[in-house]
Amino acid sequence: MLKTKDILDEKNKILRTISKEVEFPLTEEDKKNIDLMVEYLTNSQIDELAAKYMLRPGMGMAAIQIGIPKRYITIVHEVEEGVFDTYVVINPKIVSSSKEKIYVEDGEGCLSVNRETFGIIPRYARVTVEGYDIDGNKISIRAREELAIVFQHEIDHLNGIIFVDHIDPKNPYKYKDIYRAI
């Protein structure tokens, strides 16, 4: 089982690595790591388990966050109380996006950023992500709003980008009146 301490902190230079494309078939180790990532994200959103195992809540995780510089991400999205949609995307790419941009009103968070952050991160309101499932089948996912933000956040990790990089240090709230808050 992954623990919060297994997730790399933003100070770790590995997080700035551009992750490598994954070849198929996946290794058993990659499959195991994907299962661990999904388990962590699911358990971290169930209050009793998060408390029991001292897990910081999270919706998404990129392999690089556990020190693996490979292009795969996992997202566990709670669609209603205790009901989750799980996404595992290998070699994900955003192939289209909306013109409209949005931001998380309360601010984005990240399992690798263990400090309070302030500011607006402009994100596309809708994205289409293409990639592969764990068996190497091509998949396409259309995501809106919160889910679209998570996909963009996790794909950023694969490119060595942490969400705080998007915040304008001179004017962290400069997009407040331009983009829609969710």
Over residues 86-108, the mean pLDDT reads 97
DSSP state of 170: S
Q: Beta strand 138-144 with 126-132: parallel, antiparallel or unpaired?
A: antiparallel
Return the percentage of the chain with pLDDT > 90, whole number: 98
Over residues 4-25, the mean pLDDT reads 97
> Is 100 within 8 Å of 123 (Cβ atoms)?
no
Query: Which pLDDT does position 86 carry in this prediction?
Result: 98
Interval 18-36: pLDDT, tens: 999 999 999 999 999 999 9
Long-range (24+ apart) CB contacts under 8 A made by 73-80 are 73/151, 73/154, 73/155, 73/157, 73/158, 74/34, 74/37, 74/38, 74/41, 75/41, 75/147, 75/150, 75/151, 75/154, 76/38, 76/41, 76/42, 76/45, 77/146, 77/147, 77/150, 78/45
Query: Which pLDDT does position 42 carry in this prediction?
Result: 97
Query: Which pLDDT does position 119 carry in this prediction?
Result: 95
Query: Which pLDDT does position 171 carry in this prediction?
Result: 95
pLDDT, averaged across the chain: 97
Better pLDDT: 98 or 81: 98
pLDDT confidence bin for 79, thresholds 50/70/90: very high
Rg (CA), the chain: 16
Over residues 131-143, the mean pLDDT reads 98
In 3-state terms, what secondary structure has residue 77?
strand
Domains along the chain with CATH numbers: 4-181 (3.90.45.10)
- Catalytic residue numbers read 154
Distance CA 70, CA 33 (A): 11
pLDDT confidence bin for 167, thresholds 50/70/90: very high
Query: Which pLDDT does position 137 carry in this prediction?
Result: 98
Query: Which pLDDT does position 140 carry in this prediction?
Result: 98
pLDDT confidence bin for 169, thresholds 50/70/90: very high
Distance CA 155, CA 92 (A): 7
pLDDT confidence bin for 152, thresholds 50/70/90: very high
Query: Which pLDDT does position 133 carry in this prediction?
Result: 98
